[in-house]
Amino acid sequence: MHRKINWLLLSFVFLSSAMADPLPVSFPPKAEALGETQIRLEKAFNRVCSEPLSDPEFVLSDLHFRYTRRFTEYSGDISGRLFGALNAAEPILNTSALIMPSLLEGFKHTQKPDGHFGVEQDLAKQIDQTKDMPILWGNGRLLLALVEYTRDHANAETLAQAKKLGDYLISTRPYYGKPENFEKVGGVFASGFTTCYPSLIDGLTALTQLTGEQKYIDEARYIAGLALLDKEFDHHHSHGRLTQYRGMLDIDRLCGTTDYLEAVVQGCDTIKQRYQMPTGGVTESFDLDYPRDEGCTEGDWVRVNFFLWLATGNPAYLDDTEHILRNHLYATHLANGGFGHTVFNPLYQGETPFYAAGMTNHSVDSFWCCSMHCTQVLADTARWGVVQSESNFYITWLSETRATFDHGSNPLTITLLKKGATSWTVELDAAKESSCTIHLRVPAWANQIHIDGEQFNPTNGWVALPLTWSNTKKFNIYLPNRIRLAGAYHLPRKENEPVRLFDGPDLYALPLHLMDPSIRSATVVPQILFAADRAENETIPVLLRSEGAKMQKASLVPLANRPQGGCIYLFNARRISEEEFENHSKFAQEPPQIGSLLQVKVGGDGPKPVYLDGELLYTQQSETECPNVPAHSTRDTHVLSILVPAAIARKGVICTIQTPQGEIHSSIDNWTAVALPTEPDPAWLTDIQLGQEAALRLIDKGTYGNYPWLHMPGHFAEKKARWIWPMEVDPQAKYILFRTEFK
């Protein structure tokens, strides 16, 4: 059954242009994801409905602490985010998640008498930053989720829980709400006052809209005022800052003010000028040379830019939203439907580094936060495809959707479907004669729009069509596009810097496994030649050129739809004529064969280099973050080797290898190990027979959930992998080399 949504915080938002009065804007009471939006949301929803997040005991352990898992001290973070993500996605997909009743029951039994969730506190006696800040952050995420659920279901129990939690947060002001906490203590990363305390703003503001009680918005305003005292960016947690900006924009929308707009605009301008990657995303820490992103940041970066369009009417914010959504959030969507941390590589031009010039094959499914957070953002985009202001409907092209509005006594359904890279169909359905004005967004990259073959030029980024019709009216939309070059980080290209290639909204990339290593340096910005004026079938033919003038044929593809694995999207690019391109192509070598896709996942303590057929695939750094690393190979038989320090505290290693046929090889089948005093000769990494006379007897130490790892490496919850380790190891051994051969 469909449930009607009066969407939180956005029932009375404001759309304005530079010279126009604000207009009240609402979102569709009913929206259904279609096309690519549906495919991505279904993948994300299925991921957060699978193990370990399908286990209520695992999820609720940040409230009742029955499992030893990651981030249990962030009480309400996993449980609250999952609750909010599922609640947002269910109506968009017309489905339900089996875990929801268990979460509701868990919240009922774990709230403390003072209103908070988590371990006992005595704030009057002492503030323990390592304990109390995580509680603050997690409780803030849970508060927002409880409010959202109550708004959609009119649930008296969750309303009481949300109000009790909101009252607790107000009561913490004497301990947390001190100016010196923001002026002197600081807040580097996720445990500081400047990250965790401002994360309460959006939940408290939402609670005011739900209940009408002034005290919650007063507290949100007080916290927002403190948050503005911290004007630094470098080394700060980007997700925390963007969560703060979300809350500030929420206050302004609810109250009809612009008290925080200037600060948010200036902050976002700083982010775009100093910290934004070529993909539009932002690194986990506000440092462009920081090597990885965070899905939670990217989701909020999409949301903040969209909300800034609502607050200012400036269509440039919609262009930014589209860029971040397609070229970062979509581009880092993992094969299993999750989101998380992707590692980025710099490339050099002379002595100058260009950070985040390409993605590696190293991405972590951060099921503990990013997978849930981004699921909710994807659900939100289905509601953002069309927005309403009285008889005006604004089509943003941010999603494929079927949106139904209460248009007087004549409900109106608007369906948006993408037919090509820059072409759409728009269909309007009403039961009887209807009148309205449809506003079609014209992105800055298009400059004009074709409606049923007729060309229109935009005014302030929009083309308005006044309409009167009965039953169904359909339009074919085309947004003119061609390949265009942009600077490495900003649209204007600076002198002596590489470029990005765009076609329509999409950033184009070159997959690493389609580049011959003899042509391409691993550290230098590559040189390419191209002749095409526009992409055909989402492909741009190029010639990859080495320093020695050797050439290889290659193809650029949209970053969001590339084959799994690493890629590059900064180039020294030169456009040549079709004739020149054809002549050069005659002497260019063919690209490497793609081969079959393998996926490798390793867990266990200590840094561990992982080799496939003698080549370093990646180095596993963390026992809690276990990336699913794709590798393309043309071999039939493979050797996987893992070099593990012998002195690690918890004696064990766990691994899965997924073949192209979907078969899973786990770390118990056909594995051997040898003890070594030094790193092995390279031959040992490819010949599994070397050293077999000294092979150690391996023991099965159990599956995910077993002591001493318990539920920490949750990436192995749904696999049949086993923890393994030699029965006895020579005390003089420095390494254990684990090896397996598979077809």
Q: Which residues of 522-534 are buried (b: 16+ CB within 10 A; e: fewer)?
A: eeebbbbbbbbee
Alpha-carbon Rg for the chain, nearest whole angstrom, is: 27
Please give the pLDDT value at position 4.
34
| CB count in 10 Å sphere of residue 574 | 14
Mean pLDDT of the chain: 92
Report the C-alpha gap between 316 and 309 in whole angstroms: 8
Helix (H) or strand (E) holding 84: helix 77-93
Q: Which tokens belong to 603?
A: 């867990």
Helices 316-324 and 295-312, interaxial angle, to 10°?
A: 160
Question: Half-sphere exposure of residue 26, counting CA atoms within 13 Å on the CB side?
Answer: 16
Which residue do the tokens 């950033």 mark?
Answer: 507
| CB count in 10 Å sphere of residue 409 | 7
Please give the pLDDT value at position 16.
33
Q: Cβ neighbours of residue 303 under 8 Å, at least 6 residues apart?
A: 242, 246, 377, 380
- pLDDT tens track for 455-476: 999 999 999 999 998 889 999 9
Give which of 479, 460, 512 is closest to 630, Cα–Cα: 512
Report the C-alpha gap between 213 and 219 in whole angstroms: 11
Please give the pLDDT value at position 612.
95
Give which of 288, 280, 283, 199 is closest to 240, Cα–Cα: 199
Report the C-alpha gap between 144 and 152 in whole angstroms: 13
Residue 191 is given by DSSP the state: G
Give which of 59, 126, 128 is closest to 97, Cα–Cα: 59
- pLDDT tens track for 601-634: 999 998 999 999 999 999 998 888 999 999 988 8
In the chain, the percentage of residues whose pLDDT exceeds 90 is 84
What is the DSSP annotation of 298-348? HHHHHHHHHHHHHHH--THHHHHHHHHIIIIITTT--TTS--EEEEEEEEE
Dihedral through CA 641, CA 643, CA 649, CA 654, nearest 10? -10
Please give the pLDDT value at position 23.
53
Helices (H), 115-231: 129-153, 156-171, 173-176, 179-180, 193-196, 201-211, 214-227
At 46, give phi and psi (nearest 5°): -65, -35
From residue 154, give the alpha-carbon distance in Å to each of 103, 109, 210, 353, 660.
17, 20, 10, 54, 47
- pLDDT tens track for 69-85: 999 999 999 999 999 99
Per-residue pLDDT averaged across 550-570, rounded? 96
- pLDDT tens track for 181-216: 887 654 443 457 888 999 999 999 999 999 999 999
- pLDDT tens track for 16-53: 333 233 457 899 999 999 999 999 999 999 999 999 99
Strand partners, 556: 540
- pLDDT tens track for 157-190: 999 999 999 999 999 999 999 888 887 654 443 4
Please give the pLDDT value at position 538.
95
Instruction: Give the N- to C-terminal CA distance of the chain in Å, as an integer.
Output: 48
| CB count in 10 Å sphere of residue 707 | 10
Q: Which tokens belong to 641?
A: 């080797």
Q: Kindly tell me if the per-residue pLDDT of 482 is higher than 90.
A: yes
In the chain, the percentage of residues whose pLDDT exceeds 70 is 96
Map residue 9 onto helix, strand or coil.
coil
From residue 302, give the alpha-carbon distance in Å to each of 66, 299, 317, 320.
35, 5, 10, 8
Question: Half-sphere exposure of residue 674, counting CA atoms within 13 Å on the CB side?
Answer: 20
Least confident window among 10-24, 83-97, 522-536, 621-635: 10-24
The dihedral built from the CA positions of residue 563, 423, 377 and 182, taken in this order, carries a sign that is: positive
Report the C-alpha gap between 36 and 33 in whole angstroms: 8
Q: Between residues 526 and 660, which one has the greater pLDDT?
A: 526
Please give the pLDDT value at position 428.
97
Report the C-alpha gap between 290 and 239 in whole angstroms: 14
Please give the pLDDT value at position 9.
35
Cβ–Cβ under 8 Å, residues 567 and 510: yes
Please give the pLDDT value at position 11.
32
Angular region, 43: left φ>0, alpha ψ -120 to 50, beta rest: alpha
Report CA 649 to chain centroid distance, whole Å.
33
User: SS3 for 489-542, per residue?
Assistant: CCCCCCCCCCEEEEECCEEEEEEHHHCCCCCCCCCECCEEEECCCCCECCEEEE
Q: Kindly tell me if the per-residue pLDDT of 282 is higher than 50.
A: yes
Q: Cβ neighbours of residue 149 under 8 Å, at least 6 residues apart?
A: 83, 84, 87, 155, 158
Report the C-alpha gap between 136 and 142 in whole angstroms: 10
Report the C-alpha gap between 253 and 247 in whole angstroms: 10
Q: Which tokens belong to 721?
A: 């992998």
Q: Cβ neighbours of residue 145 under 8 Å, at least 6 residues apart?
A: 80, 81, 83, 84, 87
Report the C-alpha gap between 604 and 625 in whole angstroms: 10
* pLDDT band with cut points at 50, 70 and 90 for residue 669: confident
Q: Which tokens belong to 558?
A: 């949209």
The dihedral built from the CA positions of residue 321, 401, 145 and 60, taken in this order, carries a sign that is: negative
Report the C-alpha gap between 568 and 565 in whole angstroms: 11
Please give the pLDDT value at position 185.
56
Please give the pLDDT value at position 432.
87
Please give the pLDDT value at position 111.
98
